Structure 1
Amino acid sequence: MRITSLLSVLGLIASAVAQLPETPRFDLTQPSYDLFRSKKLGGVTVQQSFTFDNVNRRLFVAQRRDGSDTKAGDLTISQLDFSGNLLGSMDLLGCGHGVNIAAQAVGDATYLWTETDTASSGYGQRLWRFEFVDGLTLDSAKDTDIERILPVADADRCTCTIDPVSNNLVVRYQRDSKQNIAVFDLDEATAGNFSTPLADFLIPDLNDLSNVFQGYTAYGNYIYFLLGESYDASSGVLNSQVVSLDLNTGKIAQGPVMTRAGSTLEFREPEGMAIYKTVAGEVRLFLGFASGKAGDRRCNLFYKNALVF
Structure 2
Amino acid sequence: MTQERLNRRSLLRAGGGIGLAALGLGYGAGAASAAVSASPRFDLTKPSYDLFRHKPLHDDTVQQSFAFDSVNKRLFVAQRRNGTDTKAGDLCITQLDFAGNYVSYMHLSGFGHGVSFGVEPRGSESWLWTEVDANSNGYGTRLGRFKFVKGGSLSHTSSAITKYSPVSGAVEYTCSIDPVYDNMAVRHHKDGAKYIAVYAMADAKAGDFSSPKAYFKQPSIPGTAQGYTTYGQYLYYLTGNAYSASNPVPGNAELTSVNLNTGAITQGPVLTKAGGTLEFREPEGLAIYRTNAGQSRLFLGFASGAAGDRRSNLFYKNVLV
**TM-score (structure 2 length as normaliser):** 0.89
Which residue is 1:228 aligned to? Answer: 240
Question: Is 2:301 the partner of 1:288?
Answer: yes
Match of 1:217 among 218, 221, 229: 229
Question: Is 2:257 the partner of 1:257?
Answer: no
Match of 2:130 among 114, 130, 137: 114
Deviations 1:214-246 (A, max 9, x none): 000000000000000001374425100000000
After superposition, the Cα gap between the structure-2 partners of 1:295 and 1:153, relative to the gap in structure 1 and judged at 3 Å, is same
Q: How far off its partner does 1:16 sit? A: 6.3
Q: How far off its partner does 1:44 sit? A: 0.1
Which residue is 1:28 aligned to? Answer: 44
- In 2, Cα distance between equivalents of 1:212 and 1:15: 28
Match of 1:184 among 181, 199, 220: 199
Match of 2:173 among 147, 153, 158: 158
Question: Is 2:201 the partner of 1:173?
Answer: no
Paired residues of 1:16 and 1:250 also in contact (CA < 8 A) = no
Which residue is 1:303 aligned to? Answer: 316
Deviations 1:57-77 (A, max 9, x none): 110000000111111100000
- In 2, Cα distance between equivalents of 1:234 and 1:203: 27
Q: How far off its partner does 1:187 sit? A: 1.1
Deviations 1:235-285 (A, max 9, x none): 425100000000011110100000000011000000000000000000000
Q: How far off its partner does 1:17 sit? A: 2.5
Which residue is 1:10 aligned to? Answer: none
Q: How far off its partner does 1:110 sit? A: 0.4
In structure 1, runs of 5+ residues without a counterpart are 1-12
Which residue is 1:148 aligned to? Answer: 163
In structure 2, runs of 5+ residues without a counterpart are 1-28
Which residue is 1:45 aligned to? Answer: 61
* TM alignment of 1:117-136, pairs within 5 A: 117-136=133-152
- In 2, Cα distance between equivalents of 1:193 and 1:151: 8
After superposition, the Cα gap between the structure-2 partners of 1:145 and 1:179, relative to the gap in structure 1 and judged at 3 Å, is same
Could you say which structure has the larger radius of gyration?
A: 2
Deviations 1:146-202 (A, max 9, x none): 221111111100100000011111100100220000000111111110000000000
Paired residues of 1:227 and 1:242 also in contact (CA < 8 A) = yes
Which residue is 1:5 aligned to? Answer: none
Paired residues of 1:16 and 1:249 also in contact (CA < 8 A) = no
In structure 2, the residue corresponding to 1:187 is in which secondary structure?
Answer: helix
Which residue is 1:200 aligned to? Answer: 215
Q: How far off its partner does 1:286 sit? A: 0.2
- In 2, Cα distance between equivalents of 1:147 and 1:276: 25
Instruction: Give the CA RMSD over aligned residues.
Output: 1.2
After superposition, the Cα gap between the structure-2 partners of 1:157 and 1:117, relative to the gap in structure 1 and judged at 3 Å, is same
In structure 2, the residue corresponding to 1:231 is in which secondary structure?
Answer: coil
- In 1, Cα distance between equivalents of 2:183 and 2:253: 27
Match of 1:268 among 273, 281, 286: 281
Match of 1:18 among 10, 19, 34: 34
Paired residues of 1:268 and 1:289 also in contact (CA < 8 A) = yes
Paired residues of 1:246 and 1:253 also in contact (CA < 8 A) = yes
Which residue is 1:75 aligned to? Answer: 91
